[in-house]
Structure 1
Amino acid sequence: MKKFILSLLLAAFILPLQANEGMWFLMHIERLNYRDMQKMGLQLTPEEIYSINNASLKDAIVQFNRGCTAEIISDSGLVLTNHHCGYGQIAELSTAENDYLTNGFWAANRSEEIKPKKLSVRFFVRMDDVSKRILEQVNESMTEADREAAINREIAKIEQENSEGGKYTVSVKSFYQGNEYYYFVYQDYNDVRLVGTPPASIGKFGGDTDNWEWPRHTGDFALFRVYADKDGNPAEYSPDNVPLKPKKHLTTSLKGFEEGDFAMIMGYPGRTNRWMPAGGIEQNVKYAYPAWVEASKTSMDVMKKYMDKDQQVKLDYASSYASIANYWKNRQGMIDALTQHKTAKSKKESEAAFQKWASKKGNEKYAEVIPVINNYYKKTNDISAHNNYLGLLLRTRMASTPYRLGNAIAYYLEQNEAKQAELKPQLEAEINDLYEGMYIPLEEDVLATQLKLYSTKAKNIAPMIGEAAQANNKNNAGWNNYINTAFENSIFESKEKLQNFMANPKAEVIQNDPLYKLSTDLMKHYRYESAEEKQLNNDFERAYRLMVQGMRLQNPDEKYYPDANSTLRLTYGKVIALPADKRNDAAKNYYTTLKGTVAKYQPGDDEFDMPKELIALYENKDFGQYADADGYLPVNFLTDNDITGGNSGSPVLNGKGELIGLAFDGNIEAMAGDVIFDDQLQRTINVDIRYVLFLIDKLAGASHIIEELTLSK
C-alpha cells in the first residue's frame, strides 16, 4: 500500500481522444500527432521539435529542480520558470534584512547573481524504447517481487550502458503499468544562480484565495542562469564558471495572440492516473484525500500562527507552507470535482464493458482482473486513510529527523577510527542541513497537533502512539505535554545539544532517546506491511498490469499516450475562453489585464497587496512595447492544453515555436483532470510573456535582461 501511495500508477486514458488531449512523447510526434498539429497551426517540422543530432526545441526545455519545468531564453543560459518553482531558493537566499522574497531582487550584472545551496536543471538528450529487452527477462509464473528484481537488474545494465562513463544521468521508466519501458538520457547542471524575481506581491498575487481559480492576475515568474565550466560542461559552483552557451534558446514573441490560435506546451508533467479503476477513485474521494486535506490544514494552521509573529520564521517556512497549502487546495478540489462529475461511475461502466469482453473465448487471461482490483481497494480503504494521516505527520521535520540522524550516528559509531574520520564531515554537514532554518517551538507544536489528529482519526496506529494516547487519557495530559517532555529529554531538541553529544557520542544514548524512539516507531509503522498486505499488493499489481494490457487489446485502434511520470512531454491545443465572467474586465474571458489586477488591490493584505510603483505605471498607462494592439496590458491567459503538476514553468509556444507565455496553474473546475480529461472544462492558466517583460523592464528597470533576449516583434 505504501508503494502504491509513493509511486502513483502509470498508464493512459482509454476513452476516445479529444483534439487537445494527451501528453505525448517527442519521439512519437511525427507518427501520431504531426498532421493534427499542422491543421491546428503548427509551422515547425518534427525535426525542429525533437532531434538527436541537431539543435531542436527539446534542447531549450529543462527540468527545474526535479519538480518543475523551465526554458532557456537567451544564448547566455538565462532560465525562465515560475516564481513558485523558485520559491524555496528565493526564500533560502532571503533574510529579514535582505528579504528578496517579499521585496524582489534583480542582479544588475553577472557578478551579483546569487547561488542557492542546492539547485539544478536537467537537459533532455535522447530517449529510446527498451520494452522488448526488459520484458524478455520476465514470465507469467514470477511473483511481482521476482518480476521487479529481474526488471531492475536489466534496468541497471541499460542505465550503465548509456551513461558514457558518468557523463549522463540515465533513467529507465515504466509505462502502461509495466507493459512498456523507455530509457531517458539527461545532462545535469548544478551551478544555477538567481538572476531576478518580482516581489511576492506580484509573483504570488492572489495567494491561496486565487490559487486554482480564474480569472487570475499573477506574475508567476522568476529568472535564473545556468553556469558551466569554460568548456560548457557541468561543474559544481566556482567563481571561474561561465554562463552556459546552450544548444538552443527560445525566441520570445511580443506579437501576442488571439482566441483560437495554436498553443503547445513542452514540459515535465509529474503524475496522472487516467487508468485508475473506479475503486481507486472512490478510495481517494472517501478515504485518502479527506485525510490529506485534514492533516494538511492542521499543519498550516499551526505554522501560520508562528510565521505571522516572526519574519525570519516566515521566510524559513515559506516554501514548506506554500507546498502544503497548494496540495491542500488541490486535494479538496479533486474530491469536489471527482464527486461532481461522477467519475467513479463512468469508470465502472468502462470496467463492466471490459469484464464482458474478458468473458469471451480467448480472453480468459483477463477474467479475474476487475474482481481482484475491487477486492484490493475494499480491503485497503482504511489503510489508505491511515497512510495519509501518517504521511503528513512524517512531513513534520521533527517526526523524521531523529530517525534519520540517529541511524546515521549509530552507523558512524560502529565504524573503526579511520572510517569515522572519513564519515565525520558528512555527518556534521547533514546535521547542519537538517537543523538549518528550524524553529523548535513551531516544530513542537506541529508535531503535538499532528499526533493528536493521527491518534484520534487513523485506525491501527503506531504502537508507541497508541500507548501514549492511552497514558494521556489516563493522566488527563495532552500531546503538547508529552512532546514538550520528549524534547526536553532528547539530544535532538536542538543542533547545539546534538553537537555537544557528538563530542562524546554513545550508542545507548541514541537508542534510549525519546524523540529517536518516537520517530523510529512512526517510520517503522509507515513502512510495515503485513503478510496479507503483501499478498494484496502482489495480486493487485499483476491485475492492474493485465487490466491495462487487456484494455489496449480491447480497443486496438485507439491512439494512446502514456500517463505522466516526470518525463518530457508535448501537449497541444488552442488559446480558448471560458464563458463570460463579470469578475473579468477583459473583452473576452480568455485573458486578464493590469486593470483587473489593480481592481483587486487591497493595501497591506497578504494576498492582494501590490507595489505602488506598479499602480503608478498602470495609472500613467506606461506599458511601453508590451501593450496589446488594443491598448491594454495583458497579464494572464487561458489555453486548453492537457497539463498537470510538474508542468509549472513550462513554456507556452505559438505555431512558430516562439514563447508567448508561461504555464503556472489549472482551473479548479477541471481538478479531476489527473484522472479523466474533460475538453469542455480543462484549462491551463498562463502568464502572458508580455507581462513578464513589462515587469522586468518597466517595474524592475532591468533593461539589460531584455537586451539579452531574442525578440520577435
Structure 2
Amino acid sequence: MKKIFLLATFLMSFLQMRADEGMWLLMLIKRLNHVDMQKEGLHLTPEEIYSVNHSSLKDAIIQFGGGCTAEVVSDQGLVFTNHHCGYGSIAALSTPEKDYLTNGFWAANNQEEIPAPGLSVRFLVRMDNVSDRINAKLNNKMSPEEREKIIETEYKAIKTENSENGKYTVVVKDFFNGNEFYYFVYQDYKDVRLVGTPPNSLGKFGGDTDNWEWPRHTADFSVFRIYADATGNPAEYSASNTPLKPKHSLPVSLKGYQPDSYTMIVGFPGRTNRYLTSYGIQQMVYRDYPAWVQASKTAMDVMKKYMDKDQATKLNYASQYASVANYWKNRQGTIDAVLKNGTIEDKIEVEKKYLQWANTAANKDPYSGVLEQIDEYYKYVSNRNVERNYSSQLQRNAKYLGVAYTLGSLLKTYAEQDEAGKTEMKPKILANIDRIYEKFNINLEGEMLNSMVGLYKQKVDKSVTSPTLAAVDAKNVSNVAFSSIFATKASALAFVNSPDVAKIDSDPLKKIIDGYIADQKAVAEKYDSADERFQDNTRLFLNGLMKSQPEKSFYPDANSTMRLTYGKVRTLPERADRKYYGISEKDNYYTDVRGMVAKYKKGDEEFDLPQKFLDLMAKKDYGKYADPKTGQLQVNFLSDNDITGGNSGSPIMDGDGNLLGLAFDGNSEALSGDIIFDPEWQRTINVDVRFVLWVIEKYGNANHLINELKLVQ
C-alpha cells in the first residue's frame, strides 16, 4: 500500500511541475509530461522522443567521455559537443609542434581524423523501472546492512539478465534517495576521433573571467566522429573501422529562436541535491565548499606558475587546470548564491512543516526523529567531511602520490615474479611508465606535493588528520619524492631493469602513500555505521516529505542518467552592472559577435582573438548564418531549462527536435541550482548552432562537414 501511495504522489507531482523545472526520465514522458509539453510548443510524439523498438531522439544523444553529453548530427557518426568537453582529448593530442589546442584543427577528410585514446561514448539502448521488484524484498525494519545486501543482489541479477553476455553495459540506479529503482542498458563505442576544434581563443573565449557569467561570447564546441566495425558494432580502434551509421541524427536548425520559443534539452546531468536538508546545506557552504575552494586555488596557483613558463607544460596541464578552475569558481559561486538567495532559510521553513506532520500520532512511525538524526549526523561528521575535501584535492592534484600508489603496486608485483613472469609483465609496465611520465613536470609536481600536503596539515582537524601526513615535513616532502623510485621516468625504468622487492617496500614515497591510504580506510571504517544510518534517514525523510506535501511537485535528483528538461528562450532580470555590447536590456536573451570584438584584448590570455576572425568580422561575412530578425551573427543565448554539470554539450532543440545549439554553462546568480531551482534567475547558457556552423565553414574552411548535416532552413 505504501508503494502505491508513493507512486501516486510521484505522478501527481510530475503533473503539477513547472515547464522549466525538473529533469525528466524519457520513458515517463508519455504518461506524465507530453500534454504539457505540447501546450508549450512540442510537436513530437512520445515515441519520437523515446522508443525501444524504433529510432527516436534518444538515439542521437550520447554520454561523452563519462562526464559530458554530445549529440550525433549526421548519418556518418559526426558528433558535436562542447569545446571544454573535448578539451582533455584535444590537449592530449597536442604538442608544441602540432598545437591543436592553441591553433585549432580541421580534418579535411576521414583519413585526417585523429584517434583520441581513452575517449569513449555511450548510447542508451533502453531503460526500465524495477522499483516493485526491489521494494517487494525490502522493509523499514531492516538494518542498513540487510537492505544494502538485498539491493546489491538484485542489482547483480538485473545486470546479468540484461547484458546479453557482455554486449551491453547495464547500470542500476536508485532514485528519490533509495525509494525507487531503474536500470539502464547502454552500448559503448571506444573508437572516437577528433574531427575539428576551434582555436582555444575562440573555444574558451572569456576564460575564467567569463565562466558562469552572462553575457557570454564563446565558441564552446568541438567536433568528433564515432567509428564502428564492419557490422556497426563497437570495436577498439582499427584503421579498418568505418564511421558509425546511427539510428538517429539531429537535423540542424538555421531558423533561430525568439523570446518564449519552446526549447528542450536532453542529456546526462550529473548530480543535484534538491532535497538536501538545511543541515546539509550549512555544512556545504560554511565548511565543505570553502575547503574545496581553498585547496583548488592552491593547486591552480602552482600549475599556473609553471604553465606560464613553458608551452609544453601549458599544454600538458591545460585540461587539469581548466577542470580545477571550473569547479573552483562553481563552488565559490554556489556559496555566494546560497547565502544571497536565502536558500537555508527556505529549507528551514520546509522542515518546520515536515516536523509538524512527522510528529503526529499517525506518522511517528517511522518518520518522527528522522530529521533530528540527520542534524546530529552532520555535527558528528563535520570535521571528517572537511578532511575529505582537502584530501580529494590533494589526491587529484599531487600526482606524485598517485604515481607511487598505482605504479608502486605494479612494480612490486613485477618484482615478485620469476623471470618468465617478468618477461610477460614488462611491456605493460613500460607502457604505464611512458603514459605516466609523458606529460609530467617534475618541478611542478614537487612544489604541488609540498603545497597540498602543507595545506592539508594546516587546515584539517587533528581528530581526522592522517597520522602519516601529520608526521611528514611538508616543506621537504618533495625531496622525499625526488629520492624515490618514482621521481622520474629514468628512475622508474632503472627499477624495472633491476627489480628488488625490498627496495620498493622501503621506498620513502611509497611508504607515505601506503600509510595515507591505510589512514583513509581507518577513518572510513570509523564512520561507516553513521553513514549507513544517514542514508537510511535521508530515504525516510524524502519518503515522508513527499507524503507530507501532496500538493508540491517532486522529481528525482539528477544522477548521470539521461533526462529531458523543457522550457523556453528567456531573458535574465536586468542588473545594473551588466554590459550588453549593443544589445538592449530587454533583448538580453542573446549575444552576438559585436560583443566578442568589443571584449577583444590583443595578447590577453582570455580575450585575445585570431587575426583571421577579426578580418572576417570586419567584412561582416555571416553568410546564411545571420539571424533573420537582427541581421547579426548570434553567438550565445539563454533559456530557462533545468540543467547541471554533465549536461555540458547537450543539444538544445526546438519543438520538432531540430538542433538550436549546445548547452554549456549557467549563470552565477543561480549557482545554488543544484540545491534549489530559482525560476526567476536559473538559466542555461547555450552556444548558437549557427555560430558553430559559421566557425566550421567560414573560419575553419571545413565546408565538407556542413555538407554532412541536414540543415533546416
Report the TM-score range of the alignment, normalised by the length of the smaller protein. over 0.9
- For residue 227 of structure 1, report the CA deviation from its aligned partner: 0.4
Answer whether contact 1:82 1:649 (CA < 8 A) is retained: yes
- For residue 636 of structure 1, report the CA deviation from its aligned partner: 0.3
- Alignment correspondent of 1:323: 323
- Alignment correspondent of 2:348: 348
Q: CA separation in 1, counterparts of 2:383 and 2:209?
A: 31
Give the TM-score of the pair, scaled to structure 2: 0.95
Alignment partner of 1:432 out of 416, 434, 437: 434
Residue identity matched to 1:633: L
Answer whether contact 1:83 1:221 (CA < 8 A) is retained: yes
Residue identity matched to 2:386: A
CA distance change for structure 1 residues 599 and 400 in 2, over 3 Å: closer, same or farther?
same
Answer whether contact 1:119 1:190 (CA < 8 A) is retained: yes
Q: CA separation in 2, counterparts of 1:135 and 1:431?
A: 48
CA distance change for structure 1 residues 263 and 342 in 2, over 3 Å: closer, same or farther?
same
Superposed CA deviations along residues 533-559 of structure 1, whole A, max 9, x for unmatched, are 223212211111111111122234544
CA distance change for structure 1 residues 513 and 352 in 2, over 3 Å: closer, same or farther?
same
Determine helix, strand or coil for the equivalent of 2:280: helix
CA distance change for structure 1 residues 412 and 101 in 2, over 3 Å: closer, same or farther?
same
Superposed CA deviations along residues 32-90 of structure 1, whole A, max 9, x for unmatched, are 11111111111111110001111000000000001000000000000000000000000
Answer whether contact 1:79 1:225 (CA < 8 A) is retained: yes
Superposed CA deviations along residues 486-536 of structure 1, whole A, max 9, x for unmatched, are 023210101221121122322221221111111222223233336652232
Q: Please provide the CA RMSD for this pair.
A: 1.8
More deviation, 682-691/413-422 = 413-422
Unaligned runs of 5+ in 1: 1-10, 470-478
Answer whether contact 1:649 1:664 (CA < 8 A) is retained: yes
Q: CA separation in 2, counterparts of 1:163 and 1:49?
A: 24
Answer whether contact 2:580 2:591 (CA < 8 A) is retained: no
Alignment partner of 1:583 out of 580, 595, 599: 580
Alignment of 1:81-120 (within 5 A): 81-120=81-120
Say whether 1:537 aligns with 2:539.
no
- Alignment correspondent of 1:8: none
- For residue 382 of structure 1, report the CA deviation from its aligned partner: 1.6
Residue identity matched to 1:501: F
- Alignment correspondent of 1:6: none
Residue identity matched to 1:372: Q
Q: CA separation in 1, counterparts of 2:53 and 2:226?
A: 22
Residue identity matched to 1:390: S
Alignment partner of 1:411 out of 410, 413, 417: 413
Answer whether contact 2:19 2:37 (CA < 8 A) is retained: no
- Alignment correspondent of 1:260: 260
- Alignment correspondent of 1:196: 196
Alignment partner of 2:449 out of 447, 450, 472: 447
Alignment of 1:32-181 (within 5 A): 32-181=32-181
CA distance change for structure 1 residues 425 and 147 in 2, over 3 Å: closer, same or farther?
farther
Answer whether contact 2:12 2:553 (CA < 8 A) is retained: no
Q: Percent identity?
A: 53
Q: CA separation in 2, counterparts of 1:674 and 1:528?
A: 31
Say whether 1:462 aligns with 2:466.
yes
Say whether 1:519 aligns with 2:516.
no
Say whether 1:488 aligns with 2:485.
no
Say whether 1:679 aligns with 2:687.
no
Q: CA separation in 1, counterparts of 2:507 and 2:90?
A: 36
More deviation, 64-73/540-549 = 540-549
Determine helix, strand or coil for the equivalent of 1:468: coil
The count of corresponding residues between Structure 1 and Structure 2 is: 693
Q: CA separation in 2, counterparts of 1:117 and 1:306?
A: 26
Q: CA separation in 1, counterparts of 2:33 and 2:459?
A: 48
More deviation, 676-685/151-160 = 151-160
- Alignment correspondent of 1:475: none
Superposed CA deviations along residues 298-346 of structure 1, whole A, max 9, x for unmatched, are 0000100100111001000000000000000000001101111121121
Residue identity matched to 2:18: Q
CA distance change for structure 1 residues 530 and 657 in 2, over 3 Å: closer, same or farther?
closer
- Alignment correspondent of 1:706: 706
Q: CA separation in 1, counterparts of 2:438 and 2:683?
A: 39
- For residue 141 of structure 1, report the CA deviation from its aligned partner: 4.0
Residue identity matched to 1:586: I
Alignment partner of 1:528 out of 507, 522, 526: 522
- Alignment correspondent of 2:362: 362
Answer whether contact 2:573 2:680 (CA < 8 A) is retained: no
Answer whether contact 2:580 2:588 (CA < 8 A) is retained: no
CA distance change for structure 1 residues 530 and 638 in 2, over 3 Å: closer, same or farther?
closer
Alignment of 1:287-302 (within 5 A): 287-302=287-302
- Alignment correspondent of 1:616: 615
- For residue 407 of structure 1, report the CA deviation from its aligned partner: 2.2
Answer whether contact 1:12 1:563 (CA < 8 A) is retained: no
CA distance change for structure 1 residues 354 and 608 in 2, over 3 Å: closer, same or farther?
same
Answer whether contact 1:634 1:690 (CA < 8 A) is retained: yes
More deviation, 459-468/283-292 = 459-468
Answer whether contact 1:79 1:224 (CA < 8 A) is retained: yes
Give the TM-score of the pair, scaled to structure 1: 0.95
CA distance change for structure 1 residues 551 and 422 in 2, over 3 Å: closer, same or farther?
farther
Residue identity matched to 2:329: K
- Alignment correspondent of 2:603: 604
Superposed CA deviations along residues 407-432 of structure 1, whole A, max 9, x for unmatched, are 23333444566555544433333333
Determine helix, strand or coil for the equivalent of 2:91: helix
Answer whether contact 1:13 1:274 (CA < 8 A) is retained: no
Answer whether contact 1:585 1:596 (CA < 8 A) is retained: yes
Alignment partner of 1:572 out of 544, 563, 566: 566
Answer whether contact 1:81 1:650 (CA < 8 A) is retained: yes
Q: CA separation in 1, counterparts of 2:482 and 2:671?
A: 44
Q: CA separation in 2, counterparts of 1:283 and 1:573?
A: 32
Q: CA separation in 2, counterparts of 1:413 and 1:13?
A: 63
Answer whether contact 1:254 1:712 (CA < 8 A) is retained: yes
Residue identity matched to 2:209: T
Q: CA separation in 1, counterparts of 2:295 and 2:677?
A: 28
- For residue 468 of structure 1, report the CA deviation from its aligned partner: 2.6
Residue identity matched to 2:86: G
Q: CA separation in 1, counterparts of 2:284 and 2:221?
A: 32
Q: CA separation in 2, counterparts of 1:386 and 1:12?
A: 40
Unaligned runs of 5+ in 2: 1-9
- For residue 242 of structure 1, report the CA deviation from its aligned partner: 0.4
Determine helix, strand or coil for the equivalent of 1:86: helix
- Alignment correspondent of 2:591: 592
Say whether 1:505 aligns with 2:507.
no
Alignment partner of 1:547 out of 541, 545, 552: 541
- Alignment correspondent of 1:5: none
Superposed CA deviations along residues 663-704 of structure 1, whole A, max 9, x for unmatched, are 000001000000000000000000000100011111111111
Q: CA separation in 2, counterparts of 1:191 and 1:374?
A: 48
Superposed CA deviations along residues 195-229 of structure 1, whole A, max 9, x for unmatched, are 00000000000000000000000000000000001
Residue identity matched to 2:112: E
- Alignment correspondent of 1:642: 642
Determine helix, strand or coil for the equivalent of 2:187: strand
- For residue 374 of structure 1, report the CA deviation from its aligned partner: 0.1
- For residue 12 of structure 1, report the CA deviation from its aligned partner: 13
- For residue 485 of structure 1, report the CA deviation from its aligned partner: 2.3
Q: CA separation in 2, counterparts of 1:320 and 1:312?
A: 14
Q: CA separation in 1, counterparts of 2:66 and 2:467?
A: 35
Say whether 1:402 aligns with 2:404.
yes
Answer whether contact 1:12 1:176 (CA < 8 A) is retained: no
